């Protein structure tokens, strides 16, 4: 039996992780559950899975959460990211599944690595912010990172078909988001509700907005560079509106190996948890006849500059990817709150990339300082935009 600590249990990925664990109770035990602020759902999950530790992100909600838990609950109750770090490194845990969104995932991942825990990684920001540092420490600790993003899981699976030295290119697929065909001059009028309506995937709010701007794909490029130890010029993004081909690997001999499947996150989650075995999830089967035509196209950098920003930040190196991520988190929040328009998201990020100081990406303090500075720069930029 594999014992799991799950960060972000009330989010979209977290709920799917628990769905897999619920289906295979003889194979998985949940030792820790953490969430941001959804105390009601978290309490329900605690009643069902009886973890040893539960953590709520917002410290002021501890008493409210405690009141919702069963009177006989004997586990520890913690709060904040300190609680996430404790959950990540529990002695009884075999694997950390990081399903939180944003920079909050970095320190728990480092705690898990230090404790020798394998990681199922859905929090791409961990590698965006500190990819070099994370991979070096994981190597030293003998820890494995298993990708949970559908695209990176697809690449992970396709890499099983050949040798690392024979890989020519990784091809990350993108749906193109809800505005793939929308004219550029109409993008500034896009509303949060429209941007949250992803055509194929059921995702959380922040990731849905990132998918609409293509920033999500840019973050995945950076993640792939570190996760699979390839150079940036070996990573290509192709738009695939049907979301059937989840990603591909091209080898030196011209062979291209793809992973296909229905758009259901339980598939990559289960593979990360069970590797190298596969679980019978009893999901709907992919019907290629019903799918019909599968199409591919180049991303439109003119309408969606976020993707190129990510490539540029990766090429610049140092703490620039951390700056990119931090500014984007702040800008997305401002868009969701109605403070800035859709196209202003990338404008805010561009300002932060230009103004933030440089730093060493192997230095945790420098990474965290860059994250803090970029957030302040982004907030200042948003204030200027709002006052215009």
Helix-then-strand count for the chain, H and E:
16, 11
Last residue of a domain, which of 114, 147, 180?
147
* Averaged pLDDT for residues 23-31: 97
Residues 202 and 244 in one domain: yes
Q: What pLDDT does residue 386 have?
A: 83
pLDDT for the residue numbered 71: 87
Tell me: do 232 and 175 sit in the same domain.
yes
- Provide the CATH number for the domain around residue 342: 1.10.1740.10
Q: Is 83 contained in some domain?
A: yes
61 inside domain: yes
pLDDT of residue 232 exceeding 70, the answer is: yes
Would you say residue 312 lies in a domain?
A: no
Domain boundary residue, one of 269, 304, 339:
304
Mapped onto helix, strand or coil, the DSSP state of residue 76 is: strand
Considering the domain architecture, whether residues 357 and 258 belong to the same structural domain is answered as no
Residue 264 lies in a domain: yes
Is there a single domain that holds both residue 162 and residue 232?
A: yes
Whether residues 333 and 249 share a domain: the answer is no
- Say how far residue 110 (Cα) sits from the centre of its chain: 16
Residue 387 clears pLDDT 90, i.e. is over it: no
Strand partners, 118: 95
Cα angle, residue 306 at apex, residues 197 and 256 outer, rounded to 5°: 85
Q: For residue 282, how many other CB atoms are within 10 A of its CB?
A: 7
Q: Tell me the percentage of the chain whose pLDDT exceeds 90.
A: 93
CATH classification of the domain holding 22? 3.40.50.720
In this predicted structure, what is the pLDDT of residue 57? 93
User: Mean pLDDT, to the nearest integer, of 59-67?
Assistant: 94
Per-residue pLDDT reduced to its tens digit, 132-155: 999 999 999 999 999 999 999 999
CB 379 within 8 A of CB 349: no
The answer to whether residues 142 and 155 belong to one domain is no
Q: For residue range 237-290, list pLDDT tens digits in order.
A: 999 999 999 999 999 999 999 999 999 999 999 999 999 999 999 999 999 999
Q: How many folded domains does the chain comprise?
A: 3
Distance of CA 25 to the CA centre of its chain: 26
Q: Both 249 and 292 in a single domain?
A: yes
The residue segments making up the domain with residue 69 are: 2-147
Residue 28 lies in a domain: yes
Same domain, 277 and 324: no
Query: Could you read off the pLDDT of 163-209 as tens digits, one per residue?
Result: 999 999 999 999 999 999 999 999 999 999 999 987 766 677 899 99
- Kindly state whether residues 290 and 184 are assigned to the same domain: yes
Strand-pair partners of 7:
34, 98
**Mean pLDDT computed over 215-236:** 97
Are residue 37 and residue 67 in the same domain, yes or no?
yes
What's the pLDDT score for residue 202?
66
Are the C-beta atoms of residues 154 and 248 closer than 8 Å to each other?
Answer: yes
253 located within any domain: yes
Per-residue pLDDT, averaged over 284-297, amounts to: 93
| Whether residue 142 is found in the same domain as residue 15 | yes
Residue 388 has a pLDDT of 64
Assess if residue 310 is contained within a domain. no
> Is 88 inside a domain boundary?
yes
Last residue of a domain, one of 126, 147, 168: 147
Residues 200, 109, single domain; the answer is no
């Amino acid at each position: 039996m594999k014992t799991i600590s799950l960060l972000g249990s009330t989010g979209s990925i977290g709920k799917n992780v628990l769905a897999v664990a619920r289906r295979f109770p003889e194979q998985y035990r949940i030792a820790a559950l953490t969430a941001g602020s959804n105390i009601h759902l978290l309490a329900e999950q605690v009643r069902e899975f009886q973890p040893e530790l539960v953590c709520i992100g917002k410290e002021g909600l501890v008493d409210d959460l405690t009141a919702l838990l069963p009177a006989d609950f004997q586990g520890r109750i913690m709060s904040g990211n300190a609680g996430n770090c404790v959950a990540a490194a529990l002695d009884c845990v075999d694997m950390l599944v990081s399903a939180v969104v944003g920079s909050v995932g970095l320190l728990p991942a480092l705690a898990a690595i230090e404790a020798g825990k394998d990681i199922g990684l859905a929090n791409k920001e961990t590698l965006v912010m500190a990819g070099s540092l994370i991979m070096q420490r994981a190597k030293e600790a003998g820890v494995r990172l298993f990708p949970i993003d559908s695209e990176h899981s697809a690449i992970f699976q396709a890499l099983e078909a050949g040798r690392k030295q024979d890989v020519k290119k990784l091809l990350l697929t993108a749906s193109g988001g809800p505005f793939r065909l929308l004219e550029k001059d109409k993008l500034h009028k896009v509303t949060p509700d429209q941007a949250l309506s992803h055509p194929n995937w059921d995702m959380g709010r922040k990731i849905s907005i990132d998918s609409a701007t293509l920033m999500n794909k840019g973050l995945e490029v950076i993640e792939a560079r570190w996760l699979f130890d390839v150079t940036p010029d070996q990573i290509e993004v192709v738009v695939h509106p049907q979301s059937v081909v989840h990603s591909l690997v091209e080898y030196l001999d011209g062979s291209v190996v793809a992973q296909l499947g229905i758009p259901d996150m339980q598939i990559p989650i289960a593979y990360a948890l069970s590797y190298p075995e596969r679980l019978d999830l009893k999901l709907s089967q992919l019907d290629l006849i019903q799918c019909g035509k599968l199409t591919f196209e180049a991303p439109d950098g003119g309408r969606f500059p976020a993707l190129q920003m990510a490539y540029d930040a990766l090429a610049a190196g140092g703490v620039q990817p951390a700056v990119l991520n931090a500014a984007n988190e702040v800008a997305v929040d401002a868009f969701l709150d109605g403070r800035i328009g859709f196209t202003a998201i990338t404008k805010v990020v561009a300002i932060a990339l230009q103004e933030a100081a440089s730093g060493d990406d192997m230095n945790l303090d420098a990474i965290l300082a860059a994250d803090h500075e970029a957030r302040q720069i982004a907030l200042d930029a948003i204030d200027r935009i709002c006052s215009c």
